[in-house]
Amino acid sequence: MASGPDVVTCGEAMLLLLAEPGVPLERAAHFRRSVAGAESNVAMGLARLGHRARWLGRVGADPAGRAVLRELRAEGVDVAHAGVDEQAPTGLLLRDSHPHRAIDVQYYRSGSAGSRLAPEHIPAEAVAGARLVHISGITPMLSPTAAAATDRLIELARAAGAEVSFDPNVRRKLGGAAQWAQTAGRLLREADLVLAGEDELELLTARSADEAAAELLDGRAHTVVIKRADRSATALTAGGRWDQPPYPVPVTDPVGAGDAFAAGYLSARLRGLSESRALAEAACVAALVVQSATDTDGLPSADGRERALAAFEDGADPVHR
């Protein structure tokens, strides 16, 4: 990427073992291998949509780590600055898949290569030329060194003139409410663009989502996007408010919808589109992802997004003839 990436993301990418559809995890006998991780999901989504995306992180010197890097490269994500830890394994995620009941998710990431991310693993040249740096609350929750690496990334983004977008991506298995508020809550105030669930804003700020958004807009943020419990979304800026309903689609697997939403929204903003269009594209990409298994199967190309959006909004023929 001689001219620099459009977007840099940073976090833990894990090997995903997804149980056969509809079978509870404890009963599953067959698993499909894939890659999972909030930040790598967003990088993959943006790459499919035609953007130059770079992923920063650490994997182990093991088959899982090699598989993760190979899949990201295959999707067009730049991993030239990703590191390999010779002493720690690649994180592992096991989960089942069902559209109408709670999904069982088991993480095996304690002591993983990703959790050992540290500031010295984030070189300045990895961020040079980037227009946007996207982070989540997951990475600083992994370890104190990963939290320090996140701070280093934000500093480098500021120095490079890149905007910082932040999605809390709260995972309760990583810590309690107080720890999330202390560790990830402060990043809300470091971001230029916030993409958060209304429940996440309430947890991290002890305010209603709309009150939290107003406070953030009085600070550094120029845009706050609230993902509502009813799957609608609201974008708030100093200049106004825009609302987007979800597109009604059959759900195969809801996991990954938030990362897909982020990829769709950030793609539109990188292309200079309006808030209303950005929300529509975000909702469209999320609607496509939940119709497929794994976090990333349904991530569309730019052409796929346009065809789907035309079908959702105008009733156009969705068949690519």
Mean pLDDT of the chain: 95
**Residue (of 25, 47, 74) closest to 134 by Cα position:** 47
Residue 251 pLDDT > 80 = yes
CA dihedral for 223, 224, 226, 227, sign (positive or negative) = positive
Within 10 Å of residue 93's Cβ, how many Cβ atoms?
21
Q: What is the pTM of this model?
A: 0.96
Q: What is the pLDDT, as a whole number, of residue 1?
A: 60
> Whole-angstrom Cα distance, residue 277 to residue 270?
12
Q: What is the pLDDT, as a whole number, of residue 316?
A: 67
pLDDT tens digits, one per residue of 160-175: 999 999 999 999 999 9
- Helix/strand/coil (H, E, C) string of the chain? CCCCCCEEEECCCEEEEEECCCCCHHHCCCEEEEEECHHHHHHHHHHHCCCCEEEECEEECCHHHHHHHHHHHHCCCECCCCEEECCCCCCEEEECCCCCCCCCEEEECCCCCHHHCCHHHCCHHHCCCCCEEEEECHHHHHCHHHHHHHHHHHHHHHHHCCEEEEECCCCHHHCCHHHHHHHCHHHHHHCCEEEEEHHHHHHHHCCCHHHHHHHHHCCCCCEEEEECCCCCEEEEECCEEEEECCCCCCCCCCCCHHHHHHHHHHHHHHCCCCHHHHHHHHHHHHHHHCCCCCCCCCCCCHHHHHHHHHHHHHCCCCCCC
Strands 92-95 and 14-19: parallel
Catalytic residue IDs: 259
Q: What is the pLDDT, as a whole number, of residue 102?
A: 87
Q: What is the pLDDT, as a whole number, of residue 321?
A: 54
In this prediction, residue 2 has a pLDDT band, given cuts at 50, 70 and 90, of low
Q: What is the pLDDT, as a whole number, of residue 268?
A: 98
Percent of the chain with pLDDT over 90: 94
pLDDT tens digits, one per residue of 212-237: 999 999 999 999 999 999 999 999 99
In this prediction, residue 100 has a pLDDT band, given cuts at 50, 70 and 90, of confident
> Whole-angstrom Cα distance, residue 5 to residue 228?
31
How far is residue 60 CA from its own chain's centroid?
21
**Residue (of 313, 305, 294, 197) closest to 252 by Cα position:** 294
User: Vertex 130, ends 129 and 134: CA angle to 5°?
Assistant: 160
Residue 320 pLDDT > 90 = no
Residue 151 pLDDT > 80 = yes
In this prediction, residue 314 has a pLDDT band, given cuts at 50, 70 and 90, of confident
Q: What is the pLDDT, as a whole number, of residue 318?
A: 62
Q: What is the pLDDT, as a whole number, of residue 317?
A: 63
